[in-house]
């Protein structure tokens, strides 16, 4: 029994609907972004909107101009509250990534069923959900462009590939770095296995493009290199996990999807001649190496490479599942509808552990304020009070976790500095730093313990706001000895 064209279209639309629904699970579970990175992105987007979208001088100091400009543009159009819009936008970026990956995998295998399954595996994966909670906003957009660039690479589309690389340069430098690494390995593989005349010409084009791009960056955007090197200095090994832990973190049942990739890899070897399959193997290799850099004591954000690990395994697991179902009795193979129902049932079973883990972690971080994952409601109310009662030129010192949100939601200037919130023996140094930065107010979060050196000294620090644990003190700098 064969599916009609209308039936096929309806199933594909249903699959894309499932990807869309799963992409927005994070926004369904919380009404405020988790992680303080989101606050920094909101602050930059506000500056873009205030400065004007066509004021290009605004973009010189922005590391991720394209995704943050899109964010500001969405706010201009929708007028949604910034925290709510952040949730919707980052989930939309995830939807774009998963949909693009579904299409890439479809073209790699000529099986739209495999593409839909790969998209569902990816969008429900443990580590992409984790990236949303951390606030990988620009990277989420970058993954979408990464997939576009990957497609144009394997299809030898030079100018669209060039455009994709330009987009990546102005989207996220780390995603661009991963893409360039894979691109170089891919070109080497092509030279080894497919030394055709047209392939060599394409390779020469790409090499020329890379040299021209590097020279252009040095000439016109040297600050981009400096910014990337600067943020690289703060890279650390926190969150590093073994391959086994990556696969079973939060729920051991999650390993089933990764095990499914084994027959997918075997099938991929049979399909090696396809450029997309070569790319998938390179992505698998690079993502494993990058995610395990800590084994060589390379001090870098290894957890930022987990999404590429998920991409590779989502594709191979989808291939593996499809061809394992092909081994079922012939009467099932002849009935397309039954085979699709079996595939759908197995996909649901396989993603349930990921969905369960994502839900539990999100709700835990949302509701447990002591783990400092989400800005408590009492603090958000205090930020609203600041916005309505204090000058926008006011300068605050606030803890790093919530200072990032005080800046955009309170519409004030903020120095993020945690040292002032713990009792210190060097009280004189603390006062000198307040004078150096011309601090007007000090903000204490609703979940912070009291610092007697500040909060008991009302001669210098006058309490002006105290509600549900959140405290704001006005600094009388003229009283500082």
Return the structure tokens found at 124.
């429900």
Reported residue count of the chain is 481
Say how many C-beta atoms besides its own lie within 10 A of residue 406's C-beta.
29
- 457: which strand partners? none
161-204 residue pLDDT tens: 999 999 999 999 899 999 999 999 999 998 887 667 667 788 88
Say how many C-beta atoms besides its own lie within 10 A of residue 39's C-beta.
26
Residues 60/48, Cβ–Cβ less than 8 Å: no
Tell me phi and psi for residue 414, to 5 degrees. Answer: -135, 135
56-62, long-range: CB within 8 Å, 24+ apart, which pairs? 60/223, 61/223
DSSP 81: -
Tokens 């699959």, located at residue? 15
Domain with residues 377-479, CATH architecture: 3-Layer(aba) Sandwich (3.40)
Return the structure tokens found at 413.
């200037």
Rounded distance between C-alpha atoms, residue 115 and residue 392, angstroms: 50
Between the alpha carbon of residue 382 and those of residues 47, 168, 386, 461, the distances in Å are 22, 38, 6, 18
Q: Is the dihedral angle over the CA atoms 87, 365, 44, 68 positive or is it negative? A: negative
Buried b (16+ CB within 10 A) or exposed e, 310-332: bbbbbbbbbbbbbbebeeeeeee
Q: Which residues neighbour 119 within 8 Å (Cβ) at sequence distance 6 or greater?
A: 15, 16, 19, 98, 99, 101, 102, 105, 314
First to last CA, the chain: 88
129-157 residue pLDDT tens: 999 999 999 999 999 999 999 999 999 99
Listed by start position, the domains of the chain span 5-369, 377-479
Return the structure tokens found at 430.
């603390």
Rounded distance between C-alpha atoms, residue 132 and residue 306, angstroms: 12
Rounded distance between C-alpha atoms, residue 233 and residue 464, angstroms: 39
- What is the rounded radius of gyration, in angstroms, for the C-alpha atoms of the chain? 25
Which pLDDT tens digits describe the chain residue by residue (481 residues)?
456 778 788 889 999 999 999 999 999 999 999 988 999 999 999 999 998 888 777 777 788 999 999 999 999 999 999 999 999 999 999 999 999 999 999 999 999 999 999 999 999 999 999 999 999 999 999 999 999 999 999 999 999 999 999 999 999 989 999 999 999 999 999 888 766 766 778 888 898 888 888 887 777 777 666 666 665 555 566 678 999 999 999 999 999 999 999 999 999 999 998 999 999 999 999 999 999 988 887 767 788 999 999 999 999 999 999 999 988 887 777 788 888 899 999 999 999 999 999 999 999 999 999 898 999 999 999 999 999 999 999 999 998 888 999 999 999 999 988 776 666 556 777 788 888 899 999 999 999 888 888 888 889 999 999 999 999 999 999 888 7
- To 5 degrees, how large is the angle CA 312–CA 316–CA 319? 150
């Amino acid at each position: 029994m064969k599916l009609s064209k209308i039936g096929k279209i309806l199933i594909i639309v249903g699959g894309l609907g499932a990807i869309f629904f799963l992409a927005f699970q994070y926004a369904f579970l919380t009404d405020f972004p988790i992680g303080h990175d989101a606050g920094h992105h909101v602050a930059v987007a506000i500056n873009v909107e205030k400065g004007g979208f066509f004021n290009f001088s605004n973009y010189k100091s922005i590391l991720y101009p394209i995704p943050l400009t899109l964010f500001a543009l969405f706010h201009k159009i929708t007028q949604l509250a910034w925290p709510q819009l952040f949730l919707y936008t980052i989930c939309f970026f995830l939807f774009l990534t998963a949909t693009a990956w579904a299409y890439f995998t479809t073209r790699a295998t000529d099986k739209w069923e495999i593409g839909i399954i790969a998209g569902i595996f990816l969008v429900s994966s443990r580590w992409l959900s984790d990236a949303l909670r951390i606030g990988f906003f620009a990277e989420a957009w970058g993954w979408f462009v990464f997939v576009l660039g990957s497609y144009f690479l394997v299809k030898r589309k030079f100018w669209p590939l060039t455009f994709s690389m330009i987009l990546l340069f102005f989207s996220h430098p780390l995603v661009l770095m991963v893409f360039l690494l894979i691109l170089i390995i891919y070109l080497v593989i092509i030279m080894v296995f497919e030394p055709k005349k047209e392939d060599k010409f394409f390779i020469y084009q790409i090499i020329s493009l890379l040299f021209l791009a590097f020279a252009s960056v040095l000439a016109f955007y040297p600050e981009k290199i400096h910014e990337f090197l600067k943020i690289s200095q703060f890279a650390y090994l926190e969150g590093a996990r073994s391959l086994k832990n990556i696969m079973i973190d939060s729920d051991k049942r999650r390993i089933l999807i990764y095990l499914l990739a084994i027959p997918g890899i075997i099938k991929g070897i049979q399909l090696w001649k396809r450029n997309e399959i070569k790319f998938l193997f390179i992505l698998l290799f690079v993502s494993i190496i990058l995610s395990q850099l800590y084994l060589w004591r390379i001090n870098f954000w290894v957890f930022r490479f987990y999404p590429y690990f998920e991409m590779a395994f989502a594709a191979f697991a989808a291939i593996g599942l499809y061809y394992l179902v092909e081994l079922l009795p012939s009467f099932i193979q002849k009935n397309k509808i039954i085979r699709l129902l079996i595939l759908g049932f197995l996909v649901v079973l396989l993603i349930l552990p990921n969905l369960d883990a994502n839900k539990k972690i999100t709700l835990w971080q949302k509701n447990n304020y002591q783990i400092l994952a989400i800005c408590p409601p009492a603090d958000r109310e205090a930020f609203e009070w600041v916005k309505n009662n204090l000058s926008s030129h006011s300068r605050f010192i606030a803890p790093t976790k919530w200072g990032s949100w005080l800046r955009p939601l309170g519409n004030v200037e903020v120095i993020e500095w945690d040292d002032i919130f713990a009792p210190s023996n060097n009280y004189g140094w603390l006062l000198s730093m307040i004078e150096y930065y011309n601090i007007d107010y000090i903000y204490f979060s609703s979940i912070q313990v009291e610092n007697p050196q500040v909060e008991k000294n009302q001669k210098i620090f006058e309490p002006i706001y105290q509600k549900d644990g959140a405290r704001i003190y006005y600094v009388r700098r003229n009283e500082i000895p």
